[in-house]
């Protein structure tokens, strides 16, 4: 478990890592904003200690530790609790459970696994970039979620280019695994959707929350964030429709191809089967077959066969089978 703390006020910022919650908390400056980040959930003792200090409800602790917990927002008397899934920047479509507790002057974030998700936010605090140092815990929380949502778009872009590639392959693809690969994309979209939709609800709730913890000047920022998540949700839906379309094209293309192959078979077979019957007739060994003795029989039969073949070709052309 990795505990780290960033404290800041408009004048300065300080950062600290520690091994125990109590050690870390000595660095908390009540006059400034404090952000405590807990990487890994493998030490319940530390989390319980933090819960005690910040008066976090036992159910919230459960939600922090339960990595299957669905994204949600809950307001308690002493804090606002938000949990969501963050995409691991390095490992593609793996989502990780994250929780955030926002008290009056502190933001606590809990990561399921170690990994540097919020480096950008951290740098903006330390370098005093943008407005972050001059604003409260609400803006800090916003910045963190904003970083998470930005990560979603990177994933969606990568899925988008996968889908485009599938689109190009849809017509001529005969690979046995094509359908399965497409289904994998579909499942990934389902996965992303399960991450995005509850966060959307969560943000909607946050926007309409009449809480002293979210200042009025946050409104445009929350709206913007909500807007982004809506855009992500719509992108997922559009991708789902595109994937459905690709499956349709592929199915119909491969059935069309079968049609064409079948037609060639039909025509070749249908041309030769009657001719083979005719040559079979004159291969019979009857003693009394007058035609066999005729001098021109052989060329006449050839002529007959050519006429039959041509007649059938014309018939097929008339029916537009050729």
Query: Does residue 11 bind its own copies (CB under 8 A)?
Result: no
Nearer to its own copies, 144 or 195 (CB): 195
Cβ atoms of 166 and 185 closer than 8 Å: yes
Q: With CB under 8 A as the contact rule, which of the stretches 90-98, 107-115, 138-146, 245-253 interacts with its own copies?
A: 245-253
Nearer to its own copies, 24 or 82 (CB): 82
User: 65 to 94, contacts with its own copies by CB under 8 A?
Assistant: 68-70, 72, 74, 76
User: 196 to 235, contacts with its own copies by CB under 8 A?
Assistant: 220-221, 223-224, 227, 230-231, 234
User: 259 to 318, contacts with its own copies by CB under 8 A?
Assistant: 259, 261-266, 268-270, 272-277, 279-289, 291-298, 301
Q: With CB under 8 A as the contact rule, which of the stretches 21-29, 85-93, 114-122, 258-266 interacts with its own copies?
A: 258-266
Nearer to its own copies, 134 or 174 (CB): 174
Cβ atoms of 146 and 222 closer than 8 Å: no
User: 129 to 148, contacts with its own copies by CB under 8 A?
Assistant: none
Nearer to its own copies, 31 or 241 (CB): 241
Nearer to its own copies, 18 or 308 (CB): 308
Query: Does residue 62 bind its own copies (CB under 8 A)?
Result: yes
Q: With CB under 8 A as the contact rule, which of the stretches 41-49, 62-70, 113-121, 207-215 interacts with its own copies?
A: 62-70
Cβ of residue 322: shortest distance to its own copies, in angstroms? 11
Cβ of residue 47: shortest distance to its own copies, in angstroms? 17
Q: With CB under 8 A as the contact rule, which of the stretches 5-13, 21-29, 55-63, 107-115 interacts with its own copies?
A: 55-63
Cβ of residue 31: shortest distance to its own copies, in angstroms? 27
Using CB under 8 A, which of 31, 176, 208, 318 touches its own copies?
176
Q: Taking Cα atoms as reference points, which of 105, 104, 56 lies closest to residue 83?
A: 56
């Amino acid at each position: 478990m990795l505990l780290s703390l960033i404290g800041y006020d408009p004048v300065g910022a300080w950062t600290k890592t520690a091994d125990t919650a109590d050690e870390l908390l000595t660095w908390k400056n009540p006059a400034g904003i404090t952000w405590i980040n807990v990487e890994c959930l493998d030490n319940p003792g530390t989390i319980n200690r933090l819960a005690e200090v910040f008066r976090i409800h036992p159910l919230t602790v459960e939600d922090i530790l339960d990595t299957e917990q669905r994204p949600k927002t809950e307001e308690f008397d002493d804090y606002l609790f938000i949990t969501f899934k963050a995409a691991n920047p390095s490992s593609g479509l793996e989502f990780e459970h994250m929780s955030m507790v926002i008290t009056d002057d502190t933001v606590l974030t809990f990561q399921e696994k170690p990994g540097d998700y919020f480096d950008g936010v951290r740098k903006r605090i330390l370098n005093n970039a943008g407005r972050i140092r001059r604003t409260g815990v609400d803006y800090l929380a916003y910045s963190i979620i904003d970083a998470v949502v930005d990560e979603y778009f990177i994933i969606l872009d990568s899925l988008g280019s996968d889908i485009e590639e599938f689109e190009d392959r849809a017509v001529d693809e005969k690979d046995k695994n094509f359908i399965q690969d497409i289904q994998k994309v579909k499942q990934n979209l389902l996965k992303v959707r399960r991450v995005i939709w509850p966060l959307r609800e969560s943000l909607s709730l946050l926007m309409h929350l009449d809480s002293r913890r979210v200042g009025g000047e946050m409104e445009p920022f929350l709206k913007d964030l909500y807007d982004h998540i809506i855009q992500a949700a719509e992108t997922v839906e559009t991708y789902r429709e595109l994937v459905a379309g690709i499956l349709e094209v592929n199915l119909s293309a491969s059935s069309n191809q079968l049609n064409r192959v079948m037609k060639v078979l039909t025509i070749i077979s249908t041309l030769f089967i009657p001719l083979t019957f005719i040559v079979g007739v004159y291969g019979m060994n009857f003693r009394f077959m007058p035609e066999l003795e005729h001098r021109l029989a052989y060329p006449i039969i050839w002529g007959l066969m050519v006429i039959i073949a041509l007649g059938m070709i014309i018939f097929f052309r008339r029916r537009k089978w050729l």
